[in-house]
């Protein structure tokens, strides 16, 4: 049973492979080029779910279990921005090239400069979509709440991690070890939910349960 993850990132492939090894050992997790798919899917959706489904459908091809993901940061005081534009937040305002984490973080700090401490809530969101060979599909969403700091903290992680304060541990995401982050992050929650849901679907569970 071939499962194609719509990503050319070897770390993402390895992560899903090791996660599914236990609960779904018959799933062979492969990158798109292993089955001759080389194109990139344009993320034209208005929601994380739509983008994840676009990617999953593009690699399913009616033959494979297609899996796609989309993630980002939603900030309460910015009405959910940057949202699906998280990777291209600064680029969209003409402030930087395509995907520039440093410029994105500078813009986030700037946009929240006047926002008081009590109103700086935010969430990281990760959506994983799956399209089965028979066309059935489902999505799983993981979220983690936090708040946006006024200055960078920590050197780990990537993207907006140094500005995301995770209150239960009193540290930013960039100050957590990878295992600590994985235990609570939007991506960890979504991936574990996805593994459980896929196992149920393949065992004959009805979609939507």
Stretch that binds ligand IMP, among 26-34, 115-123, 133-141, 157-165 (CB under 6 A): 157-165
Q: Which helix (H) or strand (E) holds 138?
A: strand 137-148
Query: What is the DSSP code string of 68-130?
Result: EEEEEEEEGGGTT-BGGGGGGHHHHTTSSSSS-HHHHHHHHHHHTTTS-GGG-EEEEEEEEEE
Q: What CA–CA distance (Å, rounded) separates 109 from 149?
A: 8
**Which residue of 20, 24, 75, 87 would you call a contact of ligand IMP, by CB under 6 A?**
87
Cα–Cα–Cα angle for 55, 178, 11, rounded to 5 degrees: 40
**Residue 117: active-site member:** no
**Which residue of 64, 124, 138, 166 would you call a contact of ligand IMP, by CB under 6 A?**
124
Q: Report 50-79 residues binding ligand IMP (CB under 6 A).
A: 70-73
**157 contributes a contact to ligand IMP by CB under 6 A:** yes
**Which residue of 64, 138, 160, 194 would you call a contact of ligand IMP, by CB under 6 A?**
160
The smaller minimum CB distance to ligand IMP, of residues 184 and 199, is found at 184
List beta partners, residue 144.
124
Q: What CA–CA distance (Å, rounded) separates 200 from 84?
A: 29
Tokens coding 207: 């979609």
**Which residue of 172, 185, 189, 190 would you call a contact of ligand IMP, by CB under 6 A?**
185
Smallest separation, CB 21 to ligand IMP (Å): 23
**29 contributes a contact to ligand IMP by CB under 6 A:** no
**139 contributes a contact to ligand IMP by CB under 6 A:** no
The smaller minimum CB distance to ligand IMP, of residues 148 and 201, is found at 148
Tokens coding 150: 């006024």
Indicate which residues carry an active-site annotation.
Answer: 70
Binding site for ligand IMP (CB under 6 A): 70-73, 86-87, 104, 124, 157-161, 173, 185, 187
């Amino acid at each position: 049973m071939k499962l194609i993850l719509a990503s050319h990132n070897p770390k993402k492939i390895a992560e899903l492979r090791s996660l599914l090894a236990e609960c779904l050992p018959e799933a062979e997790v492969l990158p798109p080029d292993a089955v001759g798919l080389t194109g990139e899917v344009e993320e034209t959706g208005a929601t994380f779910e739509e983008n994840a489904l676009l990617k999953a459908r593009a690699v399913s091809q009616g033959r494979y279990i297609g899996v796609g993901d989309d993630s980002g940061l939603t900030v309460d005081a910015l009405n959910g921005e940057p949202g699906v534009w998280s990777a291209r937040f600064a680029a969209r305002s003409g402030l930087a090239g395509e995907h520039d984490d440093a410029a994105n973080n500078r813009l986030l700090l700037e946009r929240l400069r006047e926002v008081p401490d009590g109103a700086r809530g935010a969430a990281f969101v990760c959506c994983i979509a799956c399209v089965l060979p028979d066309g059935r599909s489902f999505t799983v969403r993981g979220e983690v709440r936090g708040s946006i700091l006024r200055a960078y903290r920590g050197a780990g992680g990537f993207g907006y991690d140094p500005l995301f304060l995770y209150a239960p541990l009193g540290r930013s995401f960039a100050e957590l070890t990878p295992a600590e982050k994985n235990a609570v992050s939007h991506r960890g929650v979504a991936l574990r939910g996805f593994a459980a849901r896929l196992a149920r679907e393949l065992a004959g569970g009805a979609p939507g349960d």
